[in-house]
């Protein structure tokens, strides 16, 4: 009888072990999306037709990228998204504070506030002098398999 009980308990325990997996299965982790830092310099170019500029003056970003506007000039600059595509909702991010000291930055993440399309960026004090840049936001290219 003792042998019968031991066998029944052993069979019951074996059945439980089969019914409950030892480790829970988890889905494979998602491949992380590459994020890029795009540095745009606010520069002074003495002796040139357009004395103040964004460098580069045209650039492309994907959602998740960070735009870092860096003050490199002696003159005060700001960053203003002058035109935006339909669906963009930049809110307060559309205009930076004034950058007056070399090395100061204005950082903005291209997130859900940004719709795909082209944005014209100006510096308010120097926009009339040609200080413009163009940002194109587009979906990140998918990796080829």
Task: Identify whether 82 is part of a domain.
Answer: yes
Task: Identify whether 5 is part of a domain.
Answer: no
Task: Identify whether 18 is part of a domain.
Answer: no
What range defines the domain where residue 80 resides? 37-137
Task: Identify whether 30 is part of a domain.
Answer: no
**Predicted pLDDT of residue 99:** 97
Task: Identify whether 70 is part of a domain.
Answer: yes
* Kind and range of the H or E run holding 3: helix 2-19
Give every CB contact of residue 83 below 8 A, 6+ residues apart in sequence.
Answer: 118, 119, 120
Is a pLDDT exceeding 60 seen at residue 104?
yes
Each residue's pLDDT tens digit, 23-82:
445 544 444 455 899 999 999 998 888 899 999 999 999 999 999 999 999 999 999 999
Task: Identify whether 133 is part of a domain.
Answer: yes
Each residue's pLDDT tens digit, 108-123:
999 999 999 999 999 9
pTM: 0.73
Task: Identify whether 47 is part of a domain.
Answer: yes
Task: Identify whether 53 is part of a domain.
Answer: yes
Beta strand ranges found along the chain (DSSP E):
37-44, 52-55, 58-61, 66-71, 80-83, 105-109, 117-122, 132-137
Is a pLDDT exceeding 50 seen at residue 12?
no
What is the domain-level CATH number for residue 95? Answer: 2.60.40.420
Look at the chain and report how many structural domains it folds into: 1
Beta strands 66-71; 105-109: pairing state? antiparallel
Of 1, 43, 61, the closest CA to residue 130 belongs to 43
For residue 110, the tally of other CB atoms under 10 A from its CB is 19
């Amino acid at each position: 009888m003792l042998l019968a009980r031991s066998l029944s308990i052993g069979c019951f325990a074996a059945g439980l072990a089969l019914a409950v997996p030892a480790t829970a299965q988890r889905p494979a982790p998602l491949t992380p999306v590459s994020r890029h830092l795009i540095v745009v310099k606010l520069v002074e170019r003495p002796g040139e037709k357009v004395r103040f500029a964004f460098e580069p003056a045209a650039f492309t970003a994907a959602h998740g990228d960070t735009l870092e506007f860096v003050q490199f000039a002696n003159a005060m600059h700001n960053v203003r998204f002058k035109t935006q595509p339909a669906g963009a909702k930049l809110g307060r991010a559309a205009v930076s504070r004034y950058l007056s000291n070399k090395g100061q930055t204005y950082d903005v993440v291209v997130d859900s506030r940004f719709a795909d399309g082209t944005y014209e960026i100006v510096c308010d004090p120097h926009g009339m002098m040609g200080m413009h840049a163009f940002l194109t936001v587009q979906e990140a290219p998918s990796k080829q398999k």
